[in-house]
Amino acid sequence: MEVQGLGPLGLSREREGSFGRTWAQPLVGMQGSVFLSPRLRAFARADIGGFGLSGDQDLSGNAQVGVGYAVGNNTNLTLSWRYQGVKYRNDRNPSSGFSNYENGIEMGVKFFF
């Protein structure tokens, strides 16, 4: 694959790379919820994936804890704290990789069909 683009001041940059590795990865997760009242529930969910299938280091994770409030029969308002992270490094020479970790408050609306 070859990518070309214009950089600052209109300078041309060119980058070549290969997607020769698989980016499919196993994922293991779980979730649970407890109803605190008929409309209010507490929930938690987590997953972990990667396990070194795509590179030398390949791991992703996600964790979320929050509450949900049912509005009607098919709508749910949620407020939660969420953490997600990704760490990847390939085993090629020269080695390259990245890591990204984020966490914070998440508000959402869920519609059930």
pLDDT of 63-88, one tens digit each? Answer: 999 999 999 889 999 999 999 998 88
Overall pTM surpassing 0.85 (yes/no): no
67 domain residue, yes or no? yes
Asked if residue 62 lies in contact with residue 81, where contact means CB atoms within 8 angstroms, the answer is: no
Which two tokens mark 1?
């694959």
38 domain residue, yes or no? yes
pLDDT of 12-44, one tens digit each? Answer: 555 555 555 566 778 899 999 999 999 999 999
Name the domain count of the chain: 1
42 domain residue, yes or no? yes
18 domain residue, yes or no? no
> In which domain, by residue range, is 63 found?
26-111
16 domain residue, yes or no? no
What's residue 4's pLDDT?
A: 52
What's residue 66's pLDDT?
A: 97
